[in-house]
Structure 1
Amino acid sequence: MAIIGEITEKHRLSSPECKQQMMPVQDALDILHGKWKLLILMSLSTGPMRFKEIQRQVEGITAKMLSKELKDLEINELVQRTVYDTIPVAVEYTRTPYGNSLKKVIDELHAWGVQHRKRVMRRSN
């Protein structure tokens, strides 16, 4: 969180400085936006999976949306699609080493989500 502290210390950055500081976060959000991509990456943390296996793990996602999201993740080199020459054709998806580089981010987001859920539950009781 050094960047946030840096921004706070400077109080107000000039517009170009601010934009430059925010650009990497915007780039990451552009790739990971939506409610499904991180959940798909989480489901693939245990190893290669077939389409239907992912769909069962990511509750609520439609086949059409899963297909779109997997294509986006593949384009951004976070997921690899492997087609096996079998009858019927088998397709597996796995996280790439680049996709695995998000592990710390996903773990931190998970930990924050657990704390947030506890906080919300305390307020509602």
Structure 2
Amino acid sequence: MKNVISTEKCRNSIKALEDAMYVIGGKWTLRVILALKDGHTRFNDLQRTIDGISAKVLSGVLKDLEENGFVKRKVDIGVPVVVEYELLSYADTLQDVLSALVSWGEMHRQKVIKRQEEFV
């Protein structure tokens, strides 16, 4: 009976992980969230901050984030028209995930650099 419970728990964990990755697993999604958390709120500023992202891709990511309740789009109908994006409180639920990924990424980068130096 233990294996059945364990298997069911594993399946539930995999489903939860799939749900999370569907929302935040895109190549650019977490990068956009981090840039927004850092205070980059205008579209062009975001695009300049995130190396390699095209306007079309950034627009799609921001739309997805808005649909999932992470971001609010604000349009100022002035001259020129200014579009800004604001993180909503739901984005705060990702803080621990982002911190853990950044820490792991820094650790992993150092490990890779150290291994490369050993081969030189």
- TM score, norm. by length of structure 2: 0.87
Unpaired segments ≥5 residues, structure 1 = 1-9
Count of matched residue pairs: 116
SS of equivalent residue, structure 1 residue 93: strand
AA of the residue aligned to 1:88: P
Paired residue type of 1:30: Y
Residue of 46, 54, 57 corresponding to 2:49: 57
Question: How far, CA to CA, are the matches of 1:109 and 1:11 in structure 2?
Answer: 31
- CA positional deviation for 1:95: 1.0
One-letter amino acid of the structure 1 residue matched with residue 87 of structure 2: R
Identity of counterpart residues, as a percentage? 39
Q: Which runs of 4+ in 1 moved over 3 A?
A: 10-17
Residue aligning to 2:26: 34
Deviations 1:9-35 (A, max 9, x none): x77866543221222111110001221
Residue of structure 2 equivalent to 1:95: 87
Instruction: Report the secondary structure of 2:51's partner residue.
Output: coil
Shift of residue 101, structure 1, vs aligned partner: 1.7
Q: In 1, are the aligned partners of 2:70 and 2:87 still within 8 Å (CA)?
A: yes
1:70 aligned residue: 62
**1:27 alignment partner, SS class:** helix
Q: Which amino acid aligns with 2:58?
A: L
Q: How does 1:81-92 map onto structure 2 within 5 Å?
A: 81-92=73-84
Unaligned runs of 5+ in 2: none
Q: CA RMSD, aligned part only?
A: 1.8
CA offsets 1:81-109 (integer angstroms, 9 cap, x no match):
11112122211011111012211111110
Q: Is the 8 A contact 2:40 2:46 kept in 1?
A: no
